[in-house]
Structure 1
Amino acid sequence: MGRSCNLLFNLAVFILLRDHTSLATIPNISTDEATLLALRSHISSHPNNILASYWSSSTPICRWIGITCSSCHHRVTALDVYSMQLHGTIPLHLGNLSFLISLDISDSTFHGGFPEELAHLQRLKLINVTSNNFTGANSSFLSLLPNLRFVYLSSNQFAGKIPTSFSNLTKLGSVENTEKFSQWRDPSRN
């Protein structure tokens, strides 16, 4: 009897530890905070240290400047830091903002390319990176975002054509790219 109780106890402890470990990996507001702090660490300059002043662990994340959270899930749904004249790169961690609907980092001097991890932003409806210094080919990962409706990419240093896979985005309403591609529109969406 003692041996079967011991076995049952060990099994219960194993299940509890396994479930506790898996719970730790579920994204939550702490994941969102860590992601935004990673973004802040990739920003090399910003006027008046605006992010250092307003993006701090001592302030609730949903009160940070440029951040909007959903009242229902208490997760970050919008990252709108447009016209803040931020200079830096986009970290792959940004793909962890799994409730993100709006990403607007326009009118800054972000540079480099987009990390493929942004394909994890399955709720994303708007991406605006207008007037930055992004380079490389237009990222085809955008075509993996089923809810994407608005894409603004103009005034960057992108090369190549808008991927044909964008035609799979049934909700897409507006695409703006560099001047030579700005006339692209899906004729079926007049």
Structure 2
Amino acid sequence: MHTTMETIIYHFPFGLLLLCILSASIAISATNITTDQFALLSLRAQITTTDPHHILAKNWSSGSSICEWIGVTCGSRHRRVIGLNISNMGLTGIIPPQLGNLSFLVSLDVSTNNFHGEVPHEFAGLHRLRVLNLDVNNLEGYFPPWIDSFHELQYLTLRNNSFTGPILPSISNMSKLVTLRLSNNTLQGNIPKELFNISSLEIIDLKGNSLSGSIPDSVCDRLGSLIELDLSFNQLNGHIPSSLGECSQLQMLSLSGNHFISGYIPKELGNLKMLHSLDLAGNRLEGAIPKGIGNATMLKSLNFDYNNITGNCTSPFGLV
């Protein structure tokens, strides 16, 4: 009897511990699922009255699993929301702060809708995010200062909105970024040189903003994978860096519609053997077209219009 009692006393705390852990695990799981559901229903509440096809109003129902809702992808193991794609649905409304509680979210695409207002700062908690696409909406406010918390982000595109303010140097904290598209906003200030320290970048598209200052001379020091650089239709000045000729993988370069009122076309651009498109139109560049440009034998599109340059350039493809 004594031995049996000792056994019960010895094992009871361990069994109780297992029971507590199991109960806590179930509670946390339920809470997390509920949190994801609440976040999505908060989004639906902002847009159901202007959901032209009633897609979310009919499909996003608390009577079914959120993993079966249109546009929602859940992870196979933990059954948390990892993807949300409600692009091209004609939705109007604001993005609620509760969306920042989707802590397992990897990809978010709300592009080509009519969302307005600011992006909630609660998004800073989406540490797993790799894809963020807010293209073609009516979003406004300063370029989010908390966006540098997305250390896993690879694809960031905010085109065709009304974001303003500067691009902060801390953008370099997104060290895994591959694609950056911020075109057609009203961003201001200099392009931070820290941006060009993100060695993984393949696409930089800052077209159609109000960015000023000069292009850093060290633009290609770490961008060995850069294939597209579009800085057109801004207010950039100074000279075009000859170091651009060191971006060996560059296929598209557009600097048109700026204020390069002094300087010339660097002959080093002829070193870009992969270059397909070169657009320097609408500046005030001077001097002759460098003969070395003809060495860029892959060129298919070349535009030097509206400058003060002389001469011509013929490539093996007959471009003049």
* C-alpha distance in 1 between matches for 2:160 and 2:174: 23
**Correspondence 1:1-190 to 2 at 5 A:** 24=27, 27-43=31-47, 44-179=49-184, 182-183=205-206, 187=220, 188-189=222-223, 190=226
Letter of the 1:66 counterpart: G
Q: Which moved more, 1:25-34 or 1:144-153?
A: 25-34
Shift of 1:35: 0.7
Coordinate RMSD, CA, aligned: 2.7
Higher radius of gyration, 1 or 2:
2
Give unpaired runs (5+ residues) of structure 2: 1-15, 188-204, 208-214, 227-320
Higher relative CO (Cα under 8 Å, sequence separation at least 6) belongs to 1
Q: Which moved more, 1:127-136 or 1:28-37?
A: 28-37
Aligned pair count? 180
Letter of the 2:206 counterpart: Q
Counterpart in the other structure of 1:4: none
Letter of the 1:67 counterpart: V
State the secondary structure of the residue aligned to 1:29: helix
Deviations 1:66-98 (A, max 9, x none): 000010110000010000111010111111101
Q: Is the 2:155–2:180 contact (alpha carbons within 8 Å) kept by the matching residues of 1? A: yes
Identity %: 40
TM-score by length of 1: 0.83
Shift of 1:58: 1.0
Shift of 1:22: 9.6
* C-alpha distance in 2 between matches for 1:123 and 1:65: 22
* C-alpha distance in 1 between matches for 2:170 and 2:75: 31
Mark the CA change 1:23 to 1:140 in structure 2 (over 3 Å): closer, same or farther. Answer: farther
Give unpaired runs (5+ residues) of structure 1: 1-11
* C-alpha distance in 2 between matches for 1:55 and 1:22: 27
Shift of 1:30: 1.7
Q: Is the 1:158–1:178 contact (alpha carbons within 8 Å) kept by the matching residues of 2? A: no
